[in-house]
Amino acid sequence: MPKKKVSEEKTAKQSICCGKHSMSCGGGGAVYGLGFIGALVYYISNATGFWNGALVVLKAIVWPAFLVYKLMVFLGV
């Protein structure tokens, strides 16, 4: 009997967490996507040559790492 109760609780948790009314369903991807586009535009506008332009895509992908690094340097951590 307890196994049935555990499965009912699990189903209830899944419906709350993964239901259509869940409030935390991947908003970070949209923020990262907008940040990627913004970083791409910024880095392309500052590129001086072909290879710098090719490096732009890689920089735009890892822009959060640059942001965290600069923040940590600023805070002195």
Q: Where are the domains of the chain?
A: 27-77
Long-range contacts (CB closer than 8 Å, 24 or more residues apart) made by 50-59:
none
Indicate the SS3 state at residue 6.
helix
- State mean pLDDT over 22-37: 76
Q: What was the pLDDT predicted at 59? A: 87
Whether residue 53 contacts residue 47, with contact meaning beta carbons closer than 8 Å, is answered with: yes
**Which carries the bigger pLDDT value, residue 58 or residue 5?**
58
Residue 13's identity, in one-letter code, is K
Instruction: Give 9-26 pLDDT, tens digit per residue.
Output: 555 555 555 555 555 566
pLDDT > 90? residue 72: yes
Rounded Cα distance, 34 and 28, in Å? 10
- Quick check: pTM over 0.75? no
- State mean pLDDT over 15-42: 74
